[in-house]
Amino acid sequence: MVAGDPAKNEADNGTSQPGWTCRSARFVLSANKVTQLPADSDAEVAFAGRSNAGKSSVINTLSGNAKLARISKTPGRTQALNCFRVADGRYLVDLPGYGYAKVSHAQRNHWHHELGRYFGQREALRGLLLIVDIRRGLTELDWQLIAMLRERRTPLHCLLNKADKLASNAAHNNLHRTRGQLRERAGGATVQLFSASKRRGIEECCAVLAGWLA
Ligand SMILES: Nc1nc2c(ncn2[C@@H]2O[C@H](COP(=O)(O)OP(=O)(O)OP(=O)(O)O)[C@@H](O)[C@H]2O)c(=O)[nH]1
Ligand SMILES: [Mg+2]
């Protein structure tokens, strides 16, 4: 995709944004440490959330490439900071999930340390996409992450993923409840319904990402 080419962007089936599109995402690198990521002077959006919430699936759905990020039925699949380039100096970063009990102590300590460093120091981080399983809602570990984001004043957008698993009424009830919780505890955070499997919510999500990485 040519950045800023309106003709090509228009043909992009609703995932287009000025200057770049999620569909141009290409794998760049897999980092075991924050220091291995692209230059901190660039701009990126991180995809975070509990293990198995669907972070990697969301990246694949937004990019229109089912094989871009590895997904798995088993929680704990992503064990790296996986970086995808959408435009010059613009990246999406798929983070390892948290909250999976069967990860080894060494792994958990490693990622606790690296994610603490990432959220504490990463200047390139322009916004966080928090992926939540709609059936589970926001959990204590999510709130800890939200608190870190508030401290550094980084925007947050929450996807209630796997919306296809609930009837429409139940999904909307969860959306309203989560919106209320975020209003109370997370200032300007926004939230939407999403389904990676049914490709639902793509336009709304891409518009948020485009705003952050403009
Ligand atoms: N029904 C349904 N299943 C989904 C959806 N999104 C993801 N899944 C499934 O949920 C499981 C986990 O998906 P992943 O994308 O690997 O989850 P993850 O958050 O990246 O997991 P970790 O890398 O372990 O942190 C897979 O079996 C996906 O097929 C969705 O919108 N609907
Ligand atoms: Mg993953």
What is the tens place of the pLDDT at every residue in 88-101? 999 999 999 998 87
Q: For the segment 62-80, what is each residue's pLDDT rounded down to a tens digit?
A: 999 999 998 877 777 778 9
What's the chain's length in residues?
A: 214
Q: Which atom of ligand 1 is nearest to the CA of 60?
A: 15
**Does ligand 1 lie within 6 Å of residue 51's CB atom?**
yes
The helix (H) or strand (E) run that includes residue 144 is helix 140-151
Q: How far lies 98's CA from each of 5, 12, 21, 112, 170, in Å?
A: 39, 33, 28, 9, 26
Ligand 1 atom 24: residue of nearest CA = 76
pLDDT reported for residue 142 = 96
Choose one of 30, 50, 57 to mutate for the ligand 1 pocket test, by most ligand atoms within 8 angstroms of C-beta: 57
Query: 203 pLDDT exceeds 80?
Result: yes
pLDDT reported for residue 71 = 84
Q: Which atom of ligand 1 is nearest to the CA of 72?
A: 16
Ligand 1 atom 7: residue of nearest CA = 54
Q: What is the mean pLDDT of residues 12-16?
A: 44
Query: 85 pLDDT exceeds 90?
Result: yes
pLDDT above 90 coverage of the chain, percent: 78
Query: 119 pLDDT exceeds 80?
Result: yes
Q: What is the mean pLDDT of residues 205-213?
A: 95
The ligand whose atoms approach the alpha carbon of 57 most closely is 1
Query: 3 pLDDT exceeds 50?
Result: no
Choose one of 59, 62, 68, 71 to mutate for the ligand 1 pocket test, by most ligand atoms within 8 angstroms of C-beta: 71
Query: 111 pLDDT exceeds 50?
Result: yes
Share the mean pLDDT of the chain: 89
pTM of the model: 0.91
The helix (H) or strand (E) run that includes residue 56 is helix 55-63
Going by pLDDT thresholds of 50, 70 and 90, the confidence category of residue 165 is very high
Q: Which atom of ligand 1 is nearest to the CA of 200?
A: 31
Contacting residues for 127 by C-beta, under 8 A, at least 6 apart: 45, 46, 154, 155, 156, 157, 208, 209, 212, 213
The ligand whose atoms approach the alpha carbon of 52 most closely is 1
Choose one of 47, 50, 51, 52 to mutate for the ligand 1 pocket test, by most ligand atoms within 8 angstroms of C-beta: 52
**Does ligand 1 lie within 6 Å of residue 78's CB atom?**
yes
| Other CB atoms within 10 Å distance of the CB of residue 119 | 20
Going by pLDDT thresholds of 50, 70 and 90, the confidence category of residue 8 is very low
**Does ligand 1 lie within 6 Å of residue 90's CB atom?**
no
Which homologous superfamily is 6-212 in? P-loop containing nucleotide triphosphate hydrolases (3.40.50.300)
Choice among 6-10, 107-111, 134-138 with the minimum mean pLDDT: 6-10
pLDDT reported for residue 15 = 45
Q: How far lies 124's CA from each of 9, 43, 102, in Å?
A: 25, 5, 31
Structure tokens that stand for 45 in this block: 């959006």
Which of 95, 78, 114 has the alpha carbon at shortest distance from 44? 95
Q: What is the mean pLDDT of residues 136-143?
A: 96
Q: What is the mean pLDDT of residues 109-133?
A: 95
Q: Which atom of ligand 1 is nearest to the CA of 71?
A: 16
